[in-house]
Amino acid sequence: MKEDRGQENNNSKKKKEMSIQELQMLEQNLQNIFLQKQAFQIEMRETQAALKELEKSGEEVFKIIGQLMIKTDKKEMKEELVNKEKILDLRIRSFEKQEHTLSEKLSELQTEILK
């Protein structure tokens, strides 16, 4: 009987250790997703600022490619920025969904560990 209880305690401890490791991995994943989402949000703000400046500008518009500044068509530039904005929005929403899912898993695991 005592051996059975000891083995149950060992199994319980191992399960908790594994759950704690899983919790740490989920926290790291959540942190990575948060950082990636933040980078896309910064890029989104820059894209939106560029669109505003484009609206204020005259017909002569320039685009920086590497170390070159190249004259480009205003309409094409606007289309490019609008498309970029849409893609960034999709990526940000995708990261938000992943964040939500991971947060729920983390919460469940924390509750399980504290039992």
Give me 103's structure tokens. 């947060």
Is residue 16 pLDDT above 60, yes or no? yes
Average pLDDT over residues 3-12: 64
At 106 the pLDDT is 92
What is the Cα–Cα distance from 4 to 6, expressed in whole angstroms?
5
The tens digit of pLDDT for each residue in 58-71 reads 889 999 999 999 99
Whole-prediction pTM value?
Answer: 0.79
* Domains with residue ranges and CATH for the chain: 2-114 (1.10.287.370)
Largest CA-CA distance found in the chain, in angstroms, rounded? 87
